[in-house]
Amino acid sequence: MINDDYAFLAPSNEPSSRLLGLHAHVLDRLGLTLCSGGLPAGTIVRTDELEQRYDVSRSVIREALRVLASMGMISSRRRVGVKVLPQSEWNLYDPQLIRWRLASPGRIAQLRSLTELRTAVEPEAARLAAIRAPLTGASELMGLAGKLWAAGQEGDHERFLQLDIEFHRLVLTNSGNEMFGKLHTLVSEVLAGRTHYGLMPTHPHVDALQFHVDVASAIQRGNPEDAQSAMLRIMQRTFQEMSSIWEGGDGESE
């Protein structure tokens, strides 16, 4: 069953919209099945088997398989069938694939790997932003940090999530490194995933709120060392909040 948050949009009455919605629906179901281990690596299935399983036409299955193949999740060969590839072949940076992994039983392991990636990248992005960010970008970060503080204190989870995503996006883009900037979609997914699955504190700790202010202030002052240190503290705080979950389970979550 697809998690409601990642299900396809309800199609309109237009035939083309219904078909698009059906494609997305089948793609979500297949993607989540693969990420959940329902079809382990090395499994070979035929297109007609998938047509029967999902009760859809061959064209719908073929479109879904085309997308999965572009993500490196499957390969298709005539007279052989559809082969599920190992995760080492998957495009693990694809936002849609990340959403499926977060909706699967292995979501905690996915959150951990994404957080480790953030820890490696975001402190350096903050350091570079303190050197390269234009004045308008630095000022916007300071404004966001203040709004984050207010939303956190008020317990407005939806508002806090939106602001937090935007804050980290700005740090990455203001780094002046286009590769870092493209990682903002991954950060968005991990922040949204933590919030959706109840893995965020009810009220953000005051230290976490202060660290965001410290990052913005250091970038505005043009102090790269302080910006890097403050962002690293944010990441360390995140690990601290998640460590009891990681250490208490096997990487799976209900």
Residue type, 4: D
Q: Alpha helix locations (H) across the chain?
A: 15-35, 47-54, 58-70, 95-102, 107-132, 135-154, 157-174, 178-181, 184-196, 206-221, 224-248
Q: CATH number of 107-248: 1.10.3720.10, 1.20.120.530, 3.40.50.300, 1.10.3080.10?
A: 1.20.120.530
- CATH 3.90.76.10 is right for the domain spanning 4-89: no
pTM of the model: 0.83
Contacts of 34 (CB under 8 A, 6+ apart): 68, 73, 74, 84, 100
Residue 99: CB atoms within 10 A of its CB come to 22
- Tell me the pLDDT tens digit for each residue of 10-45: 333 344 444 468 899 999 999 999 999 999 999 999
Radius of gyration of the chain (CA): 21
- Tell me the pLDDT tens digit for each residue of 98-153: 999 999 998 888 988 999 999 999 999 999 999 999 988 899 999 999 999 999 99
The average pLDDT across 167-182 equals 97
Q: Which of 39-43, 75-79, 131-135, 216-220 has the lowest mean pLDDT?
A: 75-79
Residue 66 pLDDT exceeds 50? yes
Coil vs helix vs strand at 76: strand
The average pLDDT across 150-178 equals 95
Residue 73 pLDDT exceeds 60? yes
CA–CA separation, 159 and 153 (whole Å): 11
Contacts of 201 (CB under 8 A, 6+ apart): 241
- On the question of a common fold for 4-89 and 107-248, the answer reads no
Q: What is the DSSP code (8-state) at residue 158? A: H
Residue 251's pLDDT band (cuts 50, 70, 90):
very low
CA–CA separation, 231 and 237 (whole Å): 10
Torsion of CA 133, 183, 163, 28, to 10 degrees: 160
pLDDT number for residue 244: 67
- Tell me the pLDDT tens digit for each residue of 46-65: 999 999 999 999 999 999 99
Contacts of 205 (CB under 8 A, 6+ apart): 237, 241
Domain ranges of the chain: 4-89, 107-248
Residue 246's pLDDT band (cuts 50, 70, 90):
low
